[in-house]
């Protein structure tokens, strides 16, 4: 990829932080969005800045204005964007039965986990396409452009990775809004993959299983028990670093004839067994 600037939503905590650490190690400029204000995330930003260039933008993925401001700030600082990791997400505040779930919770979860990533991807994809067109019109002949693509060994104009969940496939009747949002994100991956393939922008999905972060802290005992009972073929909690390594694989440039694929990072939980 020619542009080594990555946007990572929710990149200061949990899975997103592990991804951020991986990306700065790999030489990416990093632009992170989260709802936390500056002083709360400052220690993490300081840590990341020891390895590379990092911008933090405080904003809410649900807001169109905040999404635009996030992209604008990224471009103002780094000039272009090559990678978007749609990681920010929330669980419902209350795990309510499907017959009791509130409309407020439905709206909040769907706006954060699906609508936000959808419309952020839309504006970032447009930007990636503009960058590719500008590169081409900046005096490059078709042959020179082809040579440049071969030289950087990719022909890739950008890349989008969506962090969905096993909940895209697995029913939990006490958090249906979360399952719906993640199923939507799976379809969103394939929609954008199909739309952007001709533009040299692959789109991938990663489906994490049970990962040890703040999100699962409140249900730790439940999952400890399930792991002990052998529910997960690889019998341990997933770590945020497992996801960071999956992102590293997808951005390696070694999957040049693939887009729209899903990588399960769930200890084999998705395997159906009799
Ligand atoms: N942990 C798991 O077991 C697991 C399993 C499957 C899928 N996932 C998915 O993986 C992703 C990361 O999960 P995690 O476990 O790392 O969660 P986490 O530790 O709770 O972190 C969530 C991140 O999302 C950001 N965020 C939340 N609401 C936001 C909003 N409205 N606008 C912008 N940023 C927002 C948070 O930033 P602030 O704190 O600054 O708001 C935080 O950085 C989520 O999409 C989650 O659904 C997690």
Residue range 26-84, pLDDT digits in tens: 999 999 999 999 799 999 999 999 999 999 999 999 999 999 999 999 999 999 999 99
CB distance 208 to ligand 1 below 6 Å: yes
Cα-to-centroid distance, 130 and ligand 1 (Å): 29
Best residue among 15, 60, 87 to mutate for probing ligand 1, ranked by most atoms within 8 Å of CB:
15
CA dihedral 49→53→59→60, nearest 10 degrees, is: -90
Q: Give the model's pLDDT for residue 151.
A: 39
Cα-to-centroid distance, 87 and ligand 1 (Å): 6
Write down the residue that tokens 């969506």 correspond to.
162
DSSP string for residues in 139-157: T--HHHHHHHHHHTT----
For 95-145, the pLDDT digits (tens) are 999 999 999 999 999 999 999 999 999 999 999 999 999 998 875 555 555
Instruction: Give the single-character DSSP code of 168.
Output: G
CB atoms under 10 Å from CB of 269, counted, come to 20
Query: Domains in the chain, please, with CATH?
Result: 5-265 (3.40.50.720)
CB distance 185 to ligand 1 below 6 Å: no
Best residue among 65, 165, 215 to mutate for probing ligand 1, ranked by most atoms within 8 Å of CB:
215
CA atoms within 13 A on the CB side of 30: 31
CB distance 181 to ligand 1 below 6 Å: no
CB distance 213 to ligand 1 below 6 Å: yes
Best residue among 12, 14, 218, 263 to mutate for probing ligand 1, ranked by most atoms within 8 Å of CB:
14
Helices (H), the chain: 14-25, 38-49, 64-78, 103-110, 116-137, 142-151, 176-196, 214-217, 220-228, 240-250
Give the residue-averaged pLDDT of 186-206: 98
Cα-to-centroid distance, 4 and ligand 1 (Å): 23
Mean pLDDT value across the chain? 94
Question: Given pLDDT bands bounded at 50, 70 and 90, which one contains residue 198?
Answer: very high
Cα-to-centroid distance, 134 and ligand 1 (Å): 34
């Amino acid at each position: 990829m020619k542009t080594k600037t990555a946007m990572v939503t929710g990149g200061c905590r949990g899975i997103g932080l592990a991804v951020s650490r991986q990306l700065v190690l790999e030489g990416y400029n990093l632009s992170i969005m989260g709802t936390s204000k500056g002083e709360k995330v400052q220690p993490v930003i300081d840590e990341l800045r020891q390895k590379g260039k990092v911008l933090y933008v405080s904003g809410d993925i649900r807001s169109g204005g905040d999404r635009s401001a996030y992209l604008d700030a990224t471009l103002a600082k780094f000039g272009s964007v090559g990678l978007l990791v749609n990681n920010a997400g929330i669980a419902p505040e209350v795990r309510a039965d499907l017959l009791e779930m509130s409309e407020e919770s439905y709206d909040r979860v769907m706006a954060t986990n699906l609508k936000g990533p959808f419309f952020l991807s839309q504006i970032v994809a447009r930007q990636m396409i503009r960058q590719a067109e500008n590169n081409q019109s900046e005096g490059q002949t078709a042959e020179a452009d082809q040579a440049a693509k071969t030289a950087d060994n990719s022909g890739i104009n950008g890349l989008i990775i969506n962090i969905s969940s096993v909940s895209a496939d697995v029913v939990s009747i006490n958090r249906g809004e979360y399952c719906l949002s993640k199923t939507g994100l799976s379809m969103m991956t394939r929609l954008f993959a199909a739309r952007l393939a001709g533009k040299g922008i692959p789109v991938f999905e990663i489906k994490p299983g049970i990962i040890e972060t703040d999100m699962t802290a409140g249900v730790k005992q439940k999952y400890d028990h399930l792991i002990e009972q052998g529910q997960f073929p690889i019998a341990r909690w997933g770590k945020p670093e497992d996801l960071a390594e999956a992102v590293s694989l997808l951005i390696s440039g070694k999957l040049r004839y693939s887009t729209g694929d899903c990588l399960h990072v769930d200890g084999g939980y998705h395997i159906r067994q009799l």
